[in-house]
Amino acid sequence: MRFLPGGSKPRRVSGEVGETVACRHLEAGGYFIVKRNFRCRVGEIDIVARQGETTVFVEVKERTGTSHGEGHESVVARKRYRIVQAAQLYAAQHGLGESAVRFDVVSIEWKGGRAVVRHDEGAFDADGR
């Protein structure tokens, strides 16, 4: 892991590290990673995974402390709406019209150089609630 002087991590490097940690966590739990960083005109989905017959759209939030709240708390209504919109485009492009889908949030907090992972399955629904 690369750090900048003063202890901060570059945003893109940080995101890649957090997403890699999240992918390993998901794979250890039996998920199959389908795609990372699906980008479209309405937003981005960090990870698209499969758990059995369910397609899981995963938002990854990474923190180095809780002064601004925990990662999962930052997935507010506007962010959920954009994720759902991106997931709908992904589903349409990949023929998932009638497939079961779920929206999860994986929060990673760095404590003493170690990743503490919190996985909220079904963190919100297709209506963004």
pLDDT-derived band at 6, boundaries 50, 70, 90: very low
Q: What are phi and psi of 8, to 5 degrees?
A: -90, 150
Listed in order, strand segments (DSSP E) in the chain are 32-40, 43-51, 54-63, 101-111, 114-124
Q: Which domains does the chain have, with CATH numbers?
A: 11-124 (3.40.1350.10)
Q: Can you list the alpha helix ranges (DSSP code H) found in 1-117?
A: 11-28, 77-93
Q: Is the pLDDT of residue 35 over 50?
A: yes
What are the pLDDT digits (tens) for 66-101?
655 555 666 788 899 999 999 999 999 999 888 899
> In the prediction, which pLDDT does 3 show?
37
Calculate the alpha carbon distances from 65 to 74, 75, 101, 103, 115 in Å: 13, 16, 31, 24, 11
